[in-house]
Amino acid sequence: MMLCFHPQDGGIVGFAMACSNTFGLVTGAFLLGFGLSEIPRNIWKNADWSHRQKVLSHRVAKMAVKLDNAHQEYSNAIVVAQATSNQMSKRDILRPYMDIIDNMLSQMLREDPAFKPSGGRLGENDMDYDTDDKSMATLRRQLRRAHEEYYRCKSEYMTCVMEALKLEDTIKNYERRDANGWKYVSSFSESRSGTLGSILDTIGILLTSTADLLAFIIPYNKHLSSTRFILSC
């Protein structure tokens, strides 16, 4: 296109501004049309490490509260199941159903020996499971639901904690990049050895710097394109 168009001395600037405005408008319309405008915005927000740390700290605190509540509910369900089993005689017609619940609870505790029920308490209606098989099904369903909710909250909590720790690790490596020779020293895994490992560590630091640069360039270009459009009008 440039080869076919021969502008005069002052035409190159206008042509470049027109191309820049067209690119900015088309890209902005594309991002807005497909809901992708959050991508550059998230890159900009995540590049601010102090802001990202505050967000992750708030998320970790929030997930810790949810995990504590889920742990309490799971402990309560375990205490209710054990108390119901202890008060039910072996000749009770509901004993086979209770044995199924006991086996399920034993398997749950074997899968995670580190889990210790604490603070479990009985409510006013928690012991009303000795009437029919439907009440036994309710007890089993509540125990399984409390078990799944606890480990779901635990997984989310660990994910948030690891993300916060990795961010802190990244910040420390970036601040000490000159002393470390631009080598990424992880606190969670062993250092890479050999020439390839050193290259990968350097690439990790460079990618971090590139993310910061892109976070600055994207909003700047967006603002610049809007300014040029206003001036051209």
pLDDT in tens, 131-190: 677 888 899 999 999 999 999 999 999 999 998 988 888 888 778 777 766 666 677 666
**DSSP string covering the chain:** -TTT----TTHHHHHHHHHHHHHHHHHHHHHHHTT-THHHHHHHHHH-HHHHHHHHHHHHHHHHHHHHHHHHHHHHHHHHHHHHHHHS-TT-TTHHHHHHHHHHHHHHHHH-TT----S----TTTT---S-HHHHHHHHHHHHHHHHHHHHHHHHHHHHHHHHHHHHHHHHHHHTTTTTTS----SSSPPP-HHHHHHHHHHHHHHHHHHHHHHHHHHHHHHHHHHHHHHH-
Q: Is pLDDT at 85 greater than 70 in this prediction?
A: yes
**How large is the average pLDDT for residues 85-103?**
89
pLDDT in tens, 38-55: 666 666 666 677 888 888
**How large is the average pLDDT for residues 113-139?**
70
Q: What residue segments make up the domains of the chain, in order of their start?
A: 12-47, 49-167, 176-220
